[in-house]
Amino acid sequence: MVLDPTKHQDWEIAEEAESRMKTVYELADTLGLEKEELLPHGHYVAKLDYRKILDRLKDKPDGKYVDVTAITPTPLGEGKSTCAMGLVQGLGKRNKSVVGAIRQPSGGPTMNIKGSAAGGGLAQCIPLTPFSLGLTGDINAIMNAHNLAMVALTSRMQHENNYTDEQLAKRSLKRLDIHPKKVEMGWILDFCAQALRNITIGLGGKMDGYTMQSKFAIAVSSEIMAILSIASDLQDMRDRMGKIVVAYDKQDRPITTADLEVDGAMTAWMVEALNPNLMQSLEGQPVVVHAGPFANIAIGQSSVIADKVALKLADYNVTESGFGADIGFEKFWNLKCRFSGLKPNCAVVVATIRALKCHGGAPIPVPGKPMPEEYGSENVGWVEEGCKNLIHHIETVKKAGINPVVCINAFYTDTDAEIKAVRRLSEAAGARVALSRHWEHGGDGALEFADAVVDACEEPNDFKFLYDLNTPLSKRIELIAKEVYGADGVSYSPEAQTKLKRMENDPELKEMGTCMVKSHLSLSHDPKLKGVPKGWTLPVRDILTYKGAGFVVPVAGAISLMPGTASDPAYRRIDVDVKTGKVKGLF
């Protein structure tokens, strides 16, 4: 029995489907995996030994590489993960060999408003509970590795404050002379905890640490998550781990995790996390889950390793980039593909009629409150005006030389006239268009979508990066702001300007990638500006250094690396059936 998504919640649909799941051993047979390549975590979740798989299949040609991105979303999201799962299921219905590669959800949005990012309706990744609640412990490993670096830093500052150089030497320590106001890192936690954005630590006596201002960020924004996303193997991860800049000394020289002699121990926490996780779609197609979300404040991509494994195991790999094409796809294009050396065959731009209406003048939806009644009535004018945002994202994909496919993620309230308007304007902009009803009908509802992607993958493309690595950092930021966001230019705070000059004069930094931080709710830095804003300047207020990951991080606008929890969070509706132990209320 398949439950009706118009009458049942996502967790109920997932729970019913889980009674018919394939075991990881059946999935392994589907993929042609050998016994030692599968590392089971129970019956329905496993890790994959990527080294053995890639070594065995090194001479096998890669499959087709498809990225799923979106228009600028409403605060409710536009179903990008649902579309990725729908496409995987649709390709499965067309008897294509396919593997999905998606990101592990953060506990922050899972317990807040957005949900677990497993998809929805009849297009989900299952089993839902382990997917949503820690999976095999990758994010926990990231938290331990990251916070160990902060333990090393703060204890070193305490000892240097309490001991003379001679006393430090007896303990085999050299004074690093860390500047307490130039600590780059903070602590991390995998919840949205706004009360921890700014804290004071080390209160008490001299044995209670070094008193100073500190901070928390959400776990998935950690540089270690970025390293997990782009590392090619354990040696690469180990090398990158020692380059993480934790602070600066009083002469403005970087203090790294290697200087603190903590990089080896940090890597030890991450060894198992480097292996991707194997799960499945609601209809039994294999799905590889690895790395984390939040492309507005992080790289926001499933891992390079996951994609390389999926491309060897199947004829199609459907991966996903966070938020809209201005954020997630831009980082997929200019960061992830640069690190991986992989070239995509197609990029899907997900759009919903409700988001197009939002960009076209309808009232902006508020998370936790009922959808404004205007969204239940036909308004082709709003849809047409909102398509300006969609066309902007189509043009971004085309600038990368990739074939775009627009997926209209259908809702039962959409009208034929509204859908026809999206088709007409998208096709005029040079994109293939497919209407998909995977949320309501699963793979059977995604056949048009699957056919459009297969067709796009057969057409040659001319993939190219937006910038070369020898392009000055200021020019790169300007290119992204103008060519991807549509800004007139860039302005810098005094602090950002100082850091920019230092970075452009540092030979180790000036050729690193550029990972922008900005609002996902607008093409601009201001979440209130919908559609395609004109006549604005991107304000860069800070520039962070992720030397281990290999990129610098310009921070635009007022966005925070620690989101806040809303007044009506999801955790109020999550509970456990004490008789069966099953979790209910996840979405």
Residues marked active site are found at 80, 82, 103, 114, 295, 323, 411, 439
Sign of the torsion formed by the C-alpha atoms of 125, 145, 569 and 198 = negative
Pairing state of beta strands 199-201 and 212-214?
A: antiparallel
Q: How many residues does the chain have?
A: 587
DSSP for 338-399 reads HHH----SEEEEEE-HHHHHHHHTSPPP-TTSPPPGGGGS--HHHHHHHHHHHHHHHHHHHH
Which of helix, strand or coil describes residue 544? strand
Rounded Cα–Cα distance for residues 249 and 256 (Å): 10
DSSP per position, 230-277:
H--SHHHHHHHHTT-EEEEETTS-EEETTTTT-HHHHHHHHTGGGSPE
| 185 closest CA partner among 150, 209, 210 | 150
For 46, half-sphere exposure in the C-beta direction (CA atoms, 13 angstrom radius) is: 23
Element (H, E) at 497: helix 494-504
- Give the tokens for residue 215: 């901070």
Beta strand residue intervals within 480-536, DSSP E = 489-492, 513-514
Q: How many CB atoms lie within 10 A of CB 22?
A: 16
Strand partners, 188: 217
Look-up: residue for tokens 């409710």?
A: 76
CA atoms of 47 and 375, how far apart (whole Å): 42
CA distance linking residue 429 with residue 425, whole number of Å = 6
Angle between helices 353-360 and 380-399 (to 10 degrees): 100
Phi, psi (deg, nearest 5) at residue 509: -100, -30
CA angle 211, 216, 221 (to 5 degrees): 140
Separation between Cα atoms, residue 202 and residue 142, nearest integer Å: 24
Q: Long-range contacts for 21-25 (Cβ within 8 Å, ≥24 apart)?
A: 21/126, 21/127, 21/280, 21/284, 22/280, 22/284, 24/278
- Residues 337 and 69: their CA atoms lie apart, in Å, by 15
| R_g of the chain computed on alpha carbons | 24
Q: Would you say 315 and 453 are in contact if contact means Cβ atoms under 8 Å apart?
A: no
